[in-house]
């Protein structure tokens, strides 16, 4: 299949995936070193979905996400240093250290918020899509969630209203096969998320979420339609979470992939092999892109470590908005 | 100038005036706008006035998303208990967004719900659950007791930049009152002194304000002058006005239709015990519902509810003119 993206897009896709990968691995190290103290959920292995979706969006398109949100925020444009500072509870964090890993918000780049309650903001994304309709503009709302959210009422309530009112909402499910610590088979008889929504008359597609061009292509088609006022759509991305549910999870509920199998499925290595073979990535591009991402992550670490903790006065000042 | 309106119409008047004034005000709810003749639809169209399915999580979540995007939704929930279906949205999402984003966003929305319908509506439609929400930082909680306040507090709620739980007592629905014409705003966090007196302070909310005023009339016949305070908003709560009154009277009776352990009454008792203890000449007495599910059967329902006689007895108790209840 010819790649649906040009060389510049391919390079940006690769760079974003590397930035997420190296950020997540560094965040894991900092967690083990107690510099990141809170609960963190890493998305190593799922980078293709975040990058291929968010790189096609504009700042005025709203993105919502769940507890595993670092990659989505980074791909939407959040500065690495401010994301890491947030994980470290510093004043220079996106949310001045008040939200942390599970509650990243970056309004400037249209990353409108992550939630720590699985699927809790799927209906919030519905309201964002309704707002776009009421404003009459062509902005689109995207909400990321895992397959674990699909069995909950808020998902089904949202799909019902989004389809009833035909709102410009794109639901992106990262189906990594595990809802927290439990395989999907223990939660439902319905294997595919696309089957769950079938009665609602929603256009949906299931793609290999570790195949970045496939995600780009599937999402890009729906995005173009949503810009013209169509919707909603659902993209189910079958992917694999390389690490545990949270950082420190012993992961005894599943068997690790064999190294060779992971080499085959790793969305970054796979994209590099494909890109070089197809000629839309130069042979020497991947190492340079990886090195650049590594530098950016180290710069982020320096920024976050230098940022002070927020002042205690902030706590009460943030309870209410004041006119 | 003022005009007379039933309580429920005063709320409506505020919503209509705000929707006329500000195109960003939306109105969602079940069973709304189901016919072309629905007056809100005629006035404001089906984009701004939306009928929803019985789907509280989606209704409230959607309101939050629209609020984050610059709109000011009012969600019609009918019964306060129906908000409990969407507890995650009410407690975990709406009031936390601003704080957790470090102040990047605001969530201006109104959750409008009736409560306290003690007319045989039993255990899931009669609760007084406002104090559950006053314990959630970031939420504001409004509980009007007069038609004028019903209007003025709704207008303020819609203009407020925070999520507001607006609770109107169903037994007040058809109570008439004088309502100011045109734009009328009642500020949050300012209690109203409904009756002045120097012998005892009675604090009451919602429908119990009139019960307290009735009790005060009975007590006046005995020569006891009660001061009756209506906080009007539970969050923010005007403890200053209450403390000043207690400083004057030295005696405090708290009336709340809520179950005691989830009442504004216990919160006020705690504040006065901590900050007004030296003013008190007698222990505080609370007249609340029992910590029990409201029973259906009429005499049992009446048994658990505050009423004028219980308030009178409580006042006599704090004045030392009645034996302490067992």
pLDDT of amino acid A169:
98
Name the 3-class secondary structure at B177: strand
The CA distance from A286 to the nearest CA of chain B, in Å, is: 35
pLDDT of amino acid B2:
95
* Rounded-to-10 torsion of CA A41, B95, A159, B44: -150
CB contact under 8 A, A105 and B53: no
pLDDT of amino acid A187:
84
- pLDDT per residue, tens digit, chain B (326 aa), is 999 999 999 999 999 999 999 999 999 998 876 665 578 888 999 999 999 999 999 999 999 999 999 999 999 999 999 999 999 999 999 999 999 999 999 999 999 999 998 888 888 998 999 999 999 999 999 999 999 999 999 999 999 999 999 999 999 999 999 999 999 999 999 999 999 999 999 999 999 999 999 999 999 999 999 999 999 999 999 999 999 999 999 999 999 999 999 999 999 999 999 999 999 999 999 999 999 999 999 999 999 999 999 999 999 999 996 544 44
pLDDT of amino acid B325:
45
Residue A256 has pLDDT above 70, yes or no: no
| CA-to-CA dists, residue A319 to A104, B94, B102, B159, angstroms | 17, 12, 10, 17
- Chain A partners within 8 Å of B53 (Cβ): 157, 160-161, 164
CB-nearest partner of B65 from A106, A126, A321: A126
Chain A interface mutation, best of B68, B82, B159, B189, highest count of A Cβ atoms under 10 Å: B68
**Among all residues of chain B, which has the CA nearest to that of A98?**
B100
- Domain of residue A51 covers 7-246+259-299
pLDDT of amino acid A2:
45
Side-chain-side CA neighbours of B196 within 13 Å: the count stands at 2
How many whole angstroms separate alpha carbon B312 and alpha carbon B172? Answer: 22
A202-216 burial, b for 16+ CB within 10 Å, e for fewer? bbbbbbbbbbbbbbb
The CA distance from A119 to the nearest CA of chain B, in Å, is: 10
| In chain A, % of residues over pLDDT 70 | 94
- List the catalytic residues of B: 125
The CA distance from B138 to the nearest CA of chain A, in Å, is: 5
pLDDT of amino acid B324:
46
Is A109 within a domain?
Answer: yes
pLDDT of amino acid A176:
81
pLDDT band for A248, please (50, 70, 90 cuts): confident
**Among all residues of chain A, which has the CA nearest to that of B91?**
A120
pLDDT of amino acid A261:
78
Under 8 Å CB-to-CB from B262, ≥6 apart: which residues? B129, B131, B132
CB-nearest partner of B55 from A122, A134, A161: A161
Asked if the C-beta of A168 comes within 8 angstroms of chain B's C-beta atoms, the answer is no
Side-chain-side CA neighbours of B261 within 13 Å: the count stands at 3
pLDDT of amino acid A253:
67
Is A318 within a domain?
Answer: no
- Chain B partners within 8 Å of A121 (Cβ): 61, 65, 93
Give chain B's length: 326
- Chain B partners within 8 Å of A154 (Cβ): 57-58, 61, 88
Asked if the C-beta of A120 comes within 8 angstroms of chain B's C-beta atoms, the answer is yes
Tell me if B205 sits within 8 A of B295, measured CB to CB.
Answer: no
Beta strands in A163-301 (DSSP E): 169-175, 178-179, 182-183, 203-208, 233-238
Number of domains, chain A: 1
Q: Judging by beta carbons within 10 Å of its beta carbon (0-12, 13-18, 19+), is residue B89 exposed, middle or buried?
A: buried
CB contact under 8 A, B105 and A112: yes
| CA-to-CA dists, residue A87 to A19, A189, A200, B290, angstroms | 16, 37, 38, 46
Under 8 Å CB-to-CB from A237, ≥6 apart: which residues? A48, A49, A172, A173, A174, A175, A206, A207, A208, A209, A215
Asked if the C-beta of B106 comes within 8 angstroms of chain A's C-beta atoms, the answer is yes
pLDDT digits (tens, 9 = 90+) for A257-266: 667 777 788 9
Residues 130-149 of A with CB under 8 A from B: 130-135, 141
The CATH number linked to A33 is 3.40.50.970
CB contact under 8 A, A121 and B61: yes
Is A312 within a domain?
Answer: no
Q: Which residue has the higher pLDDT, A182 or B164?
A: B164
Mean predicted confidence (pLDDT) in A296-309: 98
Is A265 within a domain?
Answer: yes
Is A104 within a domain?
Answer: yes
CB contact under 8 A, A134 and B55: no
pLDDT of amino acid A252:
67
CB-nearest partner of A98 from B68, B99, B160: B99
Residue A3 has pLDDT above 60, yes or no: no
CB-nearest partner of A130 from B66, B93, B102: B66
DSSP state of A181: T
Under 8 Å CB-to-CB from A82, ≥6 apart: which residues? A92, A93, A94, A106, A303
pLDDT band for A246, please (50, 70, 90 cuts): confident
Query: Which residue, A307, A98, A106, A73, is CA-closest to B104?
Result: A106
- Chain A partners within 8 Å of B102 (Cβ): 93-99, 105, 314, 318
How many whole angstroms separate alpha carbon A183 and alpha carbon A241? Answer: 12
The two beta strands, A182-183 and A178-179, are antiparallel
Residues 55-94 of A with CB under 8 A from B: 62, 93-94
- Chain B partners within 8 Å of A124 (Cβ): 61-62, 64-65, 68, 89, 93
- Chain B partners within 8 Å of A317 (Cβ): 103
- Chain A partners within 8 Å of B63 (Cβ): 127
Sorted by where each starts, the structural domains of chain B and their CATH numbers stand as 2-180 (3.40.50.970), 192-318 (3.40.50.920)
How many whole angstroms separate alpha carbon A299 and alpha carbon B194? Answer: 62
CB contact under 8 A, A319 and B70: no
Asked if the C-beta of A115 comes within 8 angstroms of chain B's C-beta atoms, the answer is yes
CB contact under 8 A, B58 and A112: no
CB contact under 8 A, A128 and B66: yes
Is A239 within a domain?
Answer: yes
How many whole angstroms separate alpha carbon B80 and alpha carbon B84? Answer: 8
**ipTM attached to this prediction:** 0.93
CB-nearest partner of A123 from B26, B61, B106: B61
CB contact under 8 A, A105 and B97: yes
pLDDT digits (tens, 9 = 90+) for A43-91: 888 999 999 999 999 999 999 999 999 999 999 999 999 999 999 999 9
Q: Which residue has the higher pLDDT, A180 or B249?
A: B249
């Amino acid at each position: 299949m010819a790649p649906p993206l040009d060389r510049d897009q391919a390079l940006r896709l690769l760079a974003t995936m590397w930035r997420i990968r190296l950020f997540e691995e560094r965040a894991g190290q900092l967690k083990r070193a107690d510099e990141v103290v809170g609960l963190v959920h890493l998305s190593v292995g799922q980078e293709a979905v975040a990058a291929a979706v968010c790189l096609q969006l504009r700042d005025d398109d709203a993105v919502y996400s769940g507890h595993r949100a670092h990659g989505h925020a980074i791909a939407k444009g959040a500065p690495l240093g401010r994301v890491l500072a947030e994980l470290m509870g510093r004043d220079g964090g996106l949310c001045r250290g008040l939200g942390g890993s599970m509650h990243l918000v970056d309004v400037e780049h249209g990353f409108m918020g992550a939630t720590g309650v699985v699927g809790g903001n799927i209906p919030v994304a519905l309201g964002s899509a309704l707002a776009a309709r009421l404003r009459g503009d062509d902005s689109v709302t995207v909400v990321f969630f895992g397959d674990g959210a699909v069995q909950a009422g808020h998902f089904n309530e949202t799909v019902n209203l989004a389809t009833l009112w035909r709102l410009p909402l794109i639901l992106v499910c990262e189906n990594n096969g595990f809802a927290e610590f439990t395989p999907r088979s223990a939660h439902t008889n319905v294997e595919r998320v696309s089957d769950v929504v079938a009665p609602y008359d929603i256009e949906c597609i299931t793609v290999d979420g570790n195949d970045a061009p496939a995600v780009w292509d599937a999402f890009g088609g729906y995005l173009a339609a949503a810009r013209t006022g169509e919707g909603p759509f659902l993209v189910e991305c079958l992917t694999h979470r390389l690490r545990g549910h949270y950082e420190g999870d012993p992961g005894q509920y599943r068997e690790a992939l064999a190294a060779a199998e992971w080499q085959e499925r790793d969305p970054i290595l796979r994209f590099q092999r494909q890109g070089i073979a197809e000629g839309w990535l130069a042979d020497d591009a991947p190492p340079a892109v990886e090195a650049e991402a590594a530098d950016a992550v180290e710069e982020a670490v320096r920024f976050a470590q230098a940022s002070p903790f927020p002042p205690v006065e902030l706590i009460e000042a943030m309870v209410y908005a004041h006119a | 100038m003022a005009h007379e309106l039933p309580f429920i119409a005063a709320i409506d008047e505020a919503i209509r005036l705000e929707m006329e004034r500000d195109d960003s005000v939306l109105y969602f709810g079940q069973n709304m706008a189901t016919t072309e003749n629905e007056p809100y639809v005629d006035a404001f169209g089906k984009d701004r006035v939306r009928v929803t399915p019985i789907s509280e999580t989606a209704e409230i979540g959607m309101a939050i998303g629209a609020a984050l995007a610059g709109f000011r939704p009012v969600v019609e929930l009918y019964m306060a208990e129906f908000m409990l279906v969407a507890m995650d949205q009410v407690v975990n999402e709406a009031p936390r967004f601003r704080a957790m984003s470090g102040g990047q966003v605001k969530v201006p929305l109104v959750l409008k719900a009736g409560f306290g319908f003690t007319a045989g509506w039993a255990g899931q439609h009669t609760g007084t659950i406002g104090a559950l929400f006053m314990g959630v930082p970031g939420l504001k909680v409004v509980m009007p007791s007069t038609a004028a306040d019903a209007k003025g507090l709704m207008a303020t709620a819609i203009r407020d930049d925070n999520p507001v739980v607006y609770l109107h007592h169903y037994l007040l629905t058809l109570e008439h009152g004088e309502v100011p014409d045109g734009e009328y705003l009642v500020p949050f966090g300012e209690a109203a002194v409904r009756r002045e007196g120097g012998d005892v302070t009675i604090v009451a909310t919602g429908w119990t304000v009139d019960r307290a005023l009735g009790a005060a009339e009975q007590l006046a016949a005995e020569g006891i002058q009660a001061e009756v305070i209506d906080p009007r908003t539970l969050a923010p709560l005007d403890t200053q006005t209450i403390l000043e009154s207690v400083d004057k009277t030295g005696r405090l009776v708290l009336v709340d239709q809520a179950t005691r352990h989830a009442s504004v009454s216990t919160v006020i008792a705690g504040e006065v015990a901590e900050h007004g203890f030296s003013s008190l000449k007698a222990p505080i007495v609370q007249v609340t519902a029992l910590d029990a599910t409201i029973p259906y059967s009429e005499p049992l329902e009446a048994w658990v509810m505050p009423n004028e006689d219980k308030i009178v007895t409580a006042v006599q108790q704090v004045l030392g003119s009645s034996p302490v209840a067992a």
